[in-house]
Each structure stands twice: as structure tokens, then as C-alpha cells.
Structure 1
Amino acid sequence: MAMDPKMLAKMGINVETFGDMNAFGDPNWYQAFNNPGYYNKTHKELRAKVRAFVDEEVTPNVFEWDEAGVIPQQVYQKIGDMGLLPISVGRPWPKEFVGDCPLGYEPDYFHELIMFDELARCGSGGFMWGLAGGLVIGLPPVLKWATPEVKARVVPEVLSAKKVICLAITEPTAGSDVANLKTTAVKEGDHYIVNGEKKWITNGIFSDYFTVAVRTGSAKDGMKGISLMLIEKTMPGVNTRKMKCSGVWSSGTTYVTFDDVKVPAANLIGKENQGFKMIMNNFNHERFAIC
């Protein structure tokens, strides 16, 4: 069980605790156990800020949102206004697109860890996936490898909660086996023509942008024939339908089809046939955020 701060004080040990002190209900450093030294004043400030928001505005309503199958836009917008969305897409803070961090400091990965830990206290996987299941994995490839023009158009809108993005890799016949995906993108002049299907796409039904893994090489090329590109929901031939799942309803799990979608070549993310490397790189931050 957690150590009683009053008892420790009588022993001459000064400690700082946070939360309700339920054993194993919070990270150890909240409860007067070992602080590994990674956390400073700014981490504690963010922790208190996010917890207050969750306790006051999320937890009392979150299961109604799950039943409704969507997080209200005003809630998502408030999270954006708090400066939490840019924290969730890795380092460094994207100042070029969103200005200085409104929290007054440069967030690190421990700020991101604390933010997700506190948001998860609401007890709803649907809320967590609905909030971050698209952004956390869909925007970093754009931030890292898209053209300056695409970045300037997409990143500010997404990080200010005006638009939504998701990652579309998994297919009906290719999930963990990314190298064998079948969605194709055929170059025709200054466009690609995209055809294929994506399945289990988190946030897809809400998304304005899709970071999509496509095959630009031949099937025999395997992972060496995969590219990433940004496809927009408004492009003719993009169709989405929400999947009925057993849980996480407000995450917007979606089946996406691309039927002769004409995508500007400028929407290619990084270099053609180099998408597999970018996907693997993206998995590092994705897995950190998910776990």
C-alpha cells in the first residue's frame, strides 16, 4: 500500500504526493515512492491541469459519449485549446505551425506520458482512441516527411482541432503483414489513381485526412513497393462507413474504400516506394503512445 505522508512527516521525511493515494491506482511517484528524477515542476503542473479537466468535464460524461459514438466537437476543441494535441505527436513542439506552447515550456516525452496517463483515468477506451487513435499515428508522417506546402495546409488545422486525421494501413487481408497490402496507387501524369480498401481504421469516420499506405510498386516488390500519401475525404471516390464494434464506440472504427481516387502527386509523403521505412519509424512513437 502507499505510504502515509503524515507518517513519513513524523519520521522527518518530506514528500510530495498527488491524487487519492489508492494503492496502485496511480504511478508510484505520485504516492511517495521512488521518483526516478525525470519529473520536474512542469510535469506536475500538467498533471494537475489534465486531471482537473478529466474529473470535471470528461469522467461525468464519457460513457454517454461512448453510447452516442462520438466525442463532442466542443470537447475536442477545448483539448486543442489547452495545447494538448501537439503534445501527442512527438517532439519537438511544432512551433512553426502552432506557435509557442501555451503551457509556457517545451514539452518532452514525459509530459506526453503524463497527459495520456491522466486522460485514461476517465475509464473509457473509446474516449482515448477517439481522441488520439488517429492523430497520434496519422499526423507524425506528415510532420516529418510531407512537402512544406502540405504541412502548412494540414498541420495547423489538425493541431488546432479544426480538422481530423487518421492512419490507414490495415486492410481486410493485410494487418500485421504490412508488406503485403493490396491498395494500389498508379501514377498518371501529376496524379496517382488509388484503388483499394482499408479496415479497422480508428477515427476514419470523423477524419478529413487519411495518411494512407499504398502499393506503388508491384506485388513482388513486397515492402520495397510501398508508399505513403495523404488522401482527403473530399476527393471523389473516398467512401467511409462506420463499423459496429463490441466496444470503444466513440473511437469511430471505420471501413474505408478508395475507388479511382485522383490524388495529386504532391500529396506523396516522402519518396515513392519508401513508405515501409516511414511506417516502421512511425510505429516507435505509436507504440509508446498506445501502451
Structure 2
Amino acid sequence: MWWKTARTRLDLGQRGMIMGILNTTPDSFSDGGSHAGVEAAVAHARQMIADGAAIIDIGGESTRPGAGEVAVAEEIARTAPVIAALRAEWAGAISIDTMKASVAAAALEAGADIVNDVSGLTADPDMERVCVESGCGVAVMHMQGDPRTMQVAPDYEDVVAEVRRFFEERLLSLVAAGIDAEAICFDPGIGFGKTVEHNLALLRALANLNVGGRPLLLGVSRKSFIGRVLGSTDLADRSWPTVAITAWAREAGAMIHRVHEVRPNTQALRMTEAILQGGNSAFSG
């Protein structure tokens, strides 16, 4: 299994990959303001790379429930300089987390390889064109509603079937628009317009969400449904359950794991793969 990006093809045939989260926002739900400014952001990226991240996902607009919208110019100012600085010193994969075509274009010009769009390339009518012209990798996420309204009253008849149908439609539509099928991966959008029960149903059914042989990306890191399951409001209590989900999801076939804490989740991937494959996939970070 390969994931084609603007500069390379990522081999996901045997080993999963960690996508390290780098928020350059003041208001992200768990690390807002921690990595503002190019120097602090790049320093954090270096640490995540040392800890095992194969992809760094850079975002300049919070998508937490109820978050306000950020102007295009501000989002570019938060992300493009960080991407350019990281690209100058690292040859690995860089992703831009945005729903805006202009932000994606600026990020790709600065050196990004992948567009990670929580709207599944539906929010901005120019996003498909930007992705086609750049030949970038595309992470297509499912979301019911938008970040400002998505958690008001999520409702599905069958969340697994509906998410799968969305993936099938997006694959056909994006390929017809000119995006290489090999450049597409899918994300079920845990926590994006879903209740706790919807999230758990999707996690149980990950093996049924494989569409077109494309890889699955999973983002559960520190999300509120974990706290609700555990009956805890302490953000720190979500760290090890995230690691547990990473191991479970890798066994179920999810190959890309978007997380805040890279090292323990990388260790979970390598240990799970050693068990699955019967070989030595030991962590060496």
C-alpha cells in the first residue's frame, strides 16, 4: 500500500506511520499557544521527528467544536513560514491541516507534501484544483456539519455505512476531478460530528471502512470522547488511552495515526506490528 504525495510515495505496506500534530494556533483544544512562532514550532517538530514521526501535520486554525474562523491571511502567516523553515532542514513529509484552498496553495508552495482537509475537500470549491495542480497527497476526512456546529446534535441512521458511502463518493469524485487515487487516504473523523457511541462504532468497524484499497488515517489523540468514556475531565488522563487506541487501530488496519505524543504511540505501533508480523519491528527512535 502506497500513499503518493507531492514529493514521494510513502510505503504503508508493512509499517504504520505517526503523523505528529503541530498546532500554530492560540486556541486549539489541548495545546493552544504552546507552539506559536516559527522557532518554537520548528523546535517541537524536531522533537516529534526524533521521537518517530514520519509526517508533521501543521495547522493554523483550530477545528475544535465551536472554534471561530481564522482569516486566510492570518492562517497563512501562522503556517507557511513554519513549513518553509522545517522544509529547509528536513526531507520528510509535511502536511497542511486546512479547509481553505488559498492556505493549502501557500503551504504547498512553502514545501508541504499533503493537504489534510477535515471537510473532505468539500468546503472550498477551489481545493480540488489546488490538489490536482500540485499532485499532493490528500487526506479526506468525514465530518457532519462544520467545526462550529458539528457537536450540537450529531445524528446517523448507521454511522459506519454513512461514513463508508462518503468515502466511496469522494473517491469517485476526486479521481474524476483529476486527483490520483494513490494520493488519497481516508479519515473517519472521530469526534467531528459524532457522539461517543458513534466514535466507538467507527473504531469497532475500522476494518469495514477500507475503500478502494486506500489507507486509513485515524485521529483520536486526547479527544473528549476518551474523557467521557473514562469519566474524567483531566486532559492528562487521555494520553495512555490514545496509545491503546493506536495499538487497536493498527491491528484493525489503520496505517496513519495523527497524535500529539509521538514517542509512546510510535512504540505502540512497532510493538503491535512485531506481534502481527512475527518479526522484529522494534522502536529505534
TM-score for both structures, normalised by structure 1? 0.26
TM-score for both structures, normalised by structure 2? 0.26
Q: Which has the larger radius of gyration?
A: 1
Q: Which has the higher contact order (CA 8 A, sep 6+)?
A: 2
